Amino acid sequence: MVDDVKEYQKKEAEVVEGVERTRARKVYAPLVDIVERSGDILVIADIPGVDEKTLDITLEKNVLTISGYVEPEVPEKLKLAYAEYGIGDYQRSFTLSDEVDRNGIEATVKDGVLRLVLPKAEALKTRKIEVKAAA
């Protein structure tokens, strides 16, 4: 049972070889759910502490990158004695297939939850073909 819990703990994002980070902070890979629907793909990412001002989403070539920045909050005149929850930034990248219409991607964030809607390209959407009676 304990091993199952560890699977869902925050994990640091992997550093790509040859890439250096500009901030000396921990960076975590946010946990995501990916749901394929009839007309799109929905990506839901947990990024607590991130809002629309501290979130960057970029699409370069076929790579969609989510970057969220979190500033730790320590109450005034207090010093943190112990913390189990790691504070840090978030970053995760996905390689998109040709199924995604890159111009229609939409993103919203509320209460530390990012919702990315990746619409399917028109050619790949399921469509109903009208059947007519032959003359």
- For range 7-19, the mean pLDDT: 58
Please report the pLDDT score of residue 11 as a whole number.
67
Q: Which structure tokens are listed for 128?
A: 């109903």
- For range 34-38, the mean pLDDT: 94
**Cα–Cα distance between 22 and 85 in angstroms, integer?**
23
pLDDT exceeding 90 applies to what percent of the chain?
A: 53
Task: Please report whether residue 66 resides in a domain.
Answer: yes
pLDDT 10s digits, 117-130? 999 988 766 677 78
**Residue scoring higher pLDDT (25 or 99):** 99
How many independent structural domains does the chain possess? Answer: 1
Angle (CA) 74 32 5, round 5°: 75
Task: Please report whether residue 64 resides in a domain.
Answer: yes
Q: Which structure tokens are listed for 80?
A: 């943190």
Query: Which of 23-27, 73-77, 111-115, 126-130 is most confident?
Result: 111-115
Task: Please report whether residue 16 resides in a domain.
Answer: no
Please report the pLDDT score of residue 1 as a whole number.
44
Please report the pLDDT score of residue 2 as a whole number.
46
Task: Please report whether residue 14 resides in a domain.
Answer: no
Residue recorded with tokens 């930034």: 89
Whether residue 36 is predicted with pLDDT greater than 60 in this model: the reply is: yes
CATH number of the domain encompassing residue 41? 2.60.40.790
**Residue scoring higher pLDDT (64 or 126):** 64
Range of the domain at 43: 25-73+81-122
Whether residue 69 is predicted with pLDDT greater than 60 in this model: the reply is: yes
User: What backbone torsions phi and psi does residue 47 show, to the nearest 5 degrees?
Assistant: -135, 70
Class of residue 114 by CB neighbours under 10 A (exposed 0-12, middle 13-18, buried 19+): buried
Task: Please report whether residue 50 resides in a domain.
Answer: yes
